[in-house]
Chains A and B, each alone.
Chain A
Amino acid sequence: IAGITQAPTSQILAAGRRMTLRCTQDMRHNAMYWYRQDLGLGLRLIHYSNTAGTTGKGEVPDGYSVSRANTDDFPLTLASAVPSQTSVYFCASSEGSRDTGELFFGEGSRLTVL
């Protein structure tokens, strides 16, 4: 079934540890995104990639890094996790960044930093 796969679905992490959230899509979409969702706030963009080999910073990039070595994969890394990074993280993709822009979301990764 075509779509976006995120892993892990849930993780508890000690502060200061490094963590990589994985995201893979099989729709051959050019654009990919990482959002965090916190209670009472809208989805906030962390990083994005308009095409393989390029990345950009979103609204809340500090403490996070991404890479886009190929079309399908877009991992998000927390170099040294802090409690404020406790959140639900969604990876999303779209065919392009300037078309109708419908985003397809993964099922989310719930991260708790203690």
Chain B
Amino acid sequence: GQNIDQPTEMTATEGAIVQINCTYQTSGFNGLFWYQQHAGEAPTFLSYNVLDGLEEKGRFSSFLSRSKGYSYLLLKELQMKDSASYLCAVRDSNYQLIWGAGTKLIIKP
């Protein structure tokens, strides 16, 4: 079956760096997405990786290794507003998105 694994919860300190990992096993691969979802709100798009390597966008970076079925989202200079759930999703061979359960990130002062 298809599976996306990411940690359920992580805690980090304001101003620090945190890495959220995502491993996947899917039938085919047509891109990996990261979304941010604040409690009680809709998910919003953060990043898209389809080729191996690092994509940087401000304080957020996303890395992909297709051979390892692995991605991570790196958040630098953490701010309190970064407290949210981070959702990893992979688009399979049918171009359907398979979603992980999300990682709840708690930022402490």
Nearest CB of B to A111, in Å: 15
Which of A45, A104, A106 has a CB less than 8 Å from the CB of B97? A45
Interface: A97 (CB within 8 A): yes
Query: Known: A42-B87, A43-B87. Is A101-B97 also a contact (CB below 8 A)?
Result: yes
Residue count of chain B within 8 Å CB distance of chain A? 22
Q: How far is the CA of A44 from the CA of B97 in the complex (A)?
A: 9
* Nearest chain A residue, comparing its CB with the CB of B44: A105
Q: Interface digits, A7-19 against B, CB 8 Å rule (1 contact, 0 not)?
A: 0000000000000
- A107–B97 CB distance below 8 A: no
- B41–A100 CB distance below 8 A: no
Taking CB atoms, residues of chain A closer than 8 Å to B99 are 42-44
- In residues 36-60 of chain B, which contact A (Cβ within 8 Å)? 41-45, 48
**Residue picked from B48, B87, B96, B97, most chain A C-beta under 10 Å:** B97
- B42–A106 CB distance below 8 A: yes
- A107–B41 CB distance below 8 A: yes
Q: How far is the CA of A48 from the CA of B95 in the complex (A)?
A: 12
Q: List 5 A-B contacts (CB under 8 A).
A: A42-B101, A58-B96, A101-B31, A101-B95, A103-B33
